[in-house]
Chains A and B, each alone.
Chain A
Amino acid sequence: MAQVISIHSFRGGTGKSNLTANIATSVASQGKRVAIVDTDIQSPGIHVLFGLDDKDFTHSLNDYLWDRCSAKDAAYDVTALTTADGTPAQISGSVHLVPSSLKAGEIAKILREGYDVGLLNDCFHDLIDQLDLDYLFIDTHPGLNEETLLSIAISDRMVIILRPDRQDFLGTAVTLEVAQKLDVPGITLLVNKAPDIYPRETLIDKVQAQYGVPVGGLFYENDEMLQLASGGIFWLHHPDHAFSQEVHAVARQLIAAE
């Protein structure tokens, strides 16, 4: 059975798209068939990390929701990734990406009219069947809204990314309460952009104690990430970096938790 993993954060700029892309490709590098759906309809962006722009795709998630294409037609194979020196990356599995439309009119239309929640759910299942997936990752819009509630409700595992910041802490507590109401089978917290003054164990213990939910990974704020500026998949550019090691550790946990 394929696993649906939705990635959330209460506020924007937390590192959701970067962590989703990194973790999903790491899972694929461990031989799994993976797809990522950009359900951040209002502010799509994860395609950038895969070097795609709007000219590279003719179909998007929006087209599926409007019955203009099949789920598979809106999925782009982005497995052919390269490392920092331009050599092909070793991805033994596969990665597909379903982008969200970048056209202002299409964004406006779907936000205004909404869509049948069952259809988004159908899209996820069609992708799993048509692409024979092991994992489906859902990159979501920050905060709680109708779309994020749906992705929470239908996922097998929910990953919540937070920064060590009071505003994130409060928002995360609310998100966890909602997740409980929606009966999510598994929840993992990832702490991102930790300032390096905090020792790892102290911070992990503190967050776990606060929420009573396991912390699956801790990522420090780092200059290399800032320099990459979403220009690629971090672990392919900096394979030996502590951030990359943590990405692989999280990916291994997700695979083991199945």
Chain B
Amino acid sequence: MTSPAQGEAPHPRHQPVAAAGPKTMTDLLTLADPERTLVNWLLRQRGASLADIVAHTQAEPAALQAMLDNLTATGFLILHEDADPAVFKPNLVSRRPRTMPEKLWKAVE
């Protein structure tokens, strides 16, 4: 198989990074029901504005804002302010624990 960018190290696409994140899918499973349900929904939606989230959850706005603030502070969500209106997106990565020694990775790379 030939690759178009031979010789050049591939760079992962960049997304804004929150201080406490990103989290993993396993972290998502540890959230309490209401938080997890909200992040699950945002994952399916691939992000939503505050207004959309309010409309979907029908939650009391102050409580919802507190939940969103908390999920953002803990790194599960990022508020993308470049969009108008701003959208909350899940901040999740796939990264496995390094069970293979570094040397072995190097040998196959």
Binding site for B on A (CB under 8 A): 54-55, 57-60, 62-63, 65-69, 101-105, 107-109, 111-122, 125, 145-147, 149-150, 153-154, 178, 181-183
Contact = CB atoms under 8 A, between A and B. Distances in A.
Interface of B: 1-5, 10-13, 15, 22, 24-26, 28-29, 36-37, 40-41, 43-44, 46, 89-96, 98, 100, 105, 108-109
A58 B29 contact: no
Contact of A114 (B29, B91, B93): B93
The 7 closest A-B pairs by CB, nearest first: A114-B95, A66-B10, A149-B25, A117-B92, A146-B94, A54-B1, A67-B13
A256 B56 CA distance: 27
A181 B29 contact: yes
Contacts of B41: 183
A154 B94 CA distance: 14
B26 A116 contact: no
A183 B37 contact: yes
B90 A109 contact: no
Given A149-B26, A150-B25, A181-B29, A115 B93 contact: yes
Contacts, number: 113
Given A178-B29, A182-B28, 5 more contacts: A54-B1, A59-B4, A68-B3, A112-B98, A150-B25
9 contacts: A58-B3, A112-B98, A116-B12, A116-B15, A121-B43, A146-B24, A149-B29, A150-B25, A154-B44
Given A58-B4, A150-B25, A183-B40, A116 B13 contact: yes
B25 A146 contact: yes
A68 B6 CA distance: 11
Given A54-B1, A67-B11, A118-B89, A105 B95 contact: no
A105 B4 contact: no
Given A116-B15, A117-B25, A145 B96 contact: yes
B29 A154 contact: no
Nearest to A99: B1
